[in-house]
């Protein structure tokens, strides 16, 4: 009887221990709400791939939401609507400058070492180069990264004053292809392939990537809400490690990684999105600078240079501190 009682107590203790461990394991899983910069297209493959096991290995439960523009991500992460997101670095600087008393999102991983923003000029518009754009009709969404950067690019390319029209992202390339706009801004790899889908040949327009004008500003970075970063630094570090590993995998086997885009958006054309991903990866991710320094690296001296350039070009009154909007210590040391 006594032995049976002891066995019963031991069984209860064992069961309680298992339940406690299970409860602790569940409690260690950190939920993260992440906002992408744009729709589910080829360049998003590393993020979608990371949610196929990489995040889970870091005890993260990540909910992914497609975005509406790299500039729009900044405010939504700042407000806490999302814990993290992929957003434009220049837009981050602008936000921090215009909201000096608010805690700005913090960049912890640089995906695009140089801005993917580009100018597209329609042949027949009367402008054969950027310096002939004065008075021409330009279109882009308000939160488009290229439109945000326009004051900086315009000064460097000597475009003169243009006439901006607010155009929905879904209509930008259509209006341009139909001749309703003289020029548009957009991400190089997104707009170029979208124009192809509109039936517009590459011979019908000229494209000018902003970085070719000497505009050496960072592009999209992984941003973190300041409060979330302060409360969950280990979760953020885990997210960065997982994304870094998934990005390396996507660079190595892009065709396999792009299958995740098709899963996220059944209407996606895998071959088309593979081309888009390779354009993004080859031109803006694995740049000569990245090949020397490594993926995701944030150079704090360059951050300060970006701040100086953006504040000056945008005529902002407040200059944020580099350490308030970026930190370089979370990027894995492996290239």
Question: Domain holding 201: CATH number?
Answer: 3.40.190.10
Same domain, 176 and 318: no
Same domain, 288 and 262: yes
Q: Which residue has the higher pLDDT, 265 or 1?
A: 265
Q: Record the tokens describing residue 91, joined without a space.
A: 């837009």
User: Which of 213, 245, 270 is where one domain is finished?
Assistant: 213
Question: What percent of the chain clears pLDDT 90, i.e. is strictly above it?
Answer: 85
Q: pTM, whole model, 2 decimals?
A: 0.88
Same domain, 41 and 58: yes
**17: pLDDT strictly greater than 80:** no
Strand partners, 62: 32
Q: Which residue has the higher pLDDT, 27 or 58?
A: 58
333 lies in some domain: no
3-state secondary structure of 65: strand
186 lies in some domain: yes
**294: pLDDT strictly greater than 50:** yes
Same domain, 277 and 260: yes
Same domain, 207 and 224: no
20 lies in some domain: no
330 lies in some domain: no
Q: Which pLDDT belongs to residue 20? A: 44
Q: Which residue has the higher pLDDT, 233 or 16?
A: 233
CA dist., res. 141 & res. 159, Å (int)? 19
User: Which of 172, 196, 213 is where one domain is finished?
Assistant: 213
59 lies in some domain: yes
Q: Which domain holds residue 164?
A: 118-213
Same domain, 107 and 223: yes
Residues 6+ apart with CB under 8 A from 201: none
18 lies in some domain: no
Same domain, 230 and 316: yes
Q: Which pLDDT belongs to residue 254? A: 98
Same domain, 252 and 137: no
CA dist., res. 244 & res. 19, Å (int)? 34
178 lies in some domain: yes
Q: pLDDT tens-digit profile of 141-175? A: 988 888 988 999 999 999 999 999 999 988 999 99
Same domain, 102 and 224: yes
Q: How many domains does the chain have?
A: 2
Same domain, 320 and 233: yes
Same domain, 57 and 194: no
Residues 6+ apart with CB under 8 A from 195: 120, 173, 176, 177, 202, 205
Average pLDDT, the chain: 92
62 lies in some domain: yes
Same domain, 170 and 127: yes
User: Which of 195, 213, 231 is where one domain is finished?
Assistant: 213
Per-residue confidence band for 71, with pLDDT thresholds at 50, 70 and 90: confident
HSE of 233, CA atoms in CB hemisphere, 13 A:
5
């Amino acid at each position: 009887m006594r032995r049976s009682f002891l066995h019963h107590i031991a069984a209860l203790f064992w069961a309680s221990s298992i339940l406690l461990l299970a409860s602790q394991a569940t409690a260690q899983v950190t939920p993260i709400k992440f906002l992408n910069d744009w729709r589910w297209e080829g360049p998003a493959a590393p993020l979608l791939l990371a949610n196929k096991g990489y995040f889970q290995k870091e005890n993260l439960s990540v909910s992914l939401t497609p975005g509406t523009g790299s500039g729009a991500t900044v405010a939504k992460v700042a407000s806490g609507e999302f814990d993290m997101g992929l957003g434009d670095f220049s837009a981050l600087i602008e936000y921090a400058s215009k909201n000096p008393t608010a805690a700005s999102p913090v960049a912890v991983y640089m995906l695009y070492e140089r801005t993917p923003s580009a100018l597209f000029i329609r042949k027949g518009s009367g402008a054969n180069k950027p310096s002939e754009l004065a008075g021409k009709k330009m279109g882009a969404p308000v939160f488009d990264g290229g439109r945000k950067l326009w004051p900086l690019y315009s000064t460097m390319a000597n475009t003169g004053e243009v006439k901006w029209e607010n155009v929905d992202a879904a209509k930008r390339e259509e209006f341009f292809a139909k001749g309703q706009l003289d020029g548009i801004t957009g991400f190089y790899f997104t707009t170029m392939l979208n124009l192809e889908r509109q039936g517009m040949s590459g011979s019908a327009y000229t494209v000018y990537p902003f970085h070719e004008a000497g505009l050496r500003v960072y592009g999209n970075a992984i941003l973190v809400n300041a409060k979330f970063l302060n409360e969950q630094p280990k979760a953020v570090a885990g997210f960065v490690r997982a994304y870094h590993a998934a990005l390396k995998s996507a660079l190595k086997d892009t065709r396999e990684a792009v299958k995740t885009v098709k899963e996220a958006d059944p209407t996606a054309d895998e071959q088309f999105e593979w081309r888009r991903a390779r354009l993004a990866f080859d031109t803006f991710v694995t740049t000569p600078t990245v090949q020397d320094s490594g993926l995701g690296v944030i150079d704090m001296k360059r951050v300060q240079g970006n701040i100086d350039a953006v504040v000056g070009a945008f005529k902002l009154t407040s200059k944020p501190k580099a350490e308030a909007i970026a930190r370089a210590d979370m990027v894995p040391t492996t290239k």
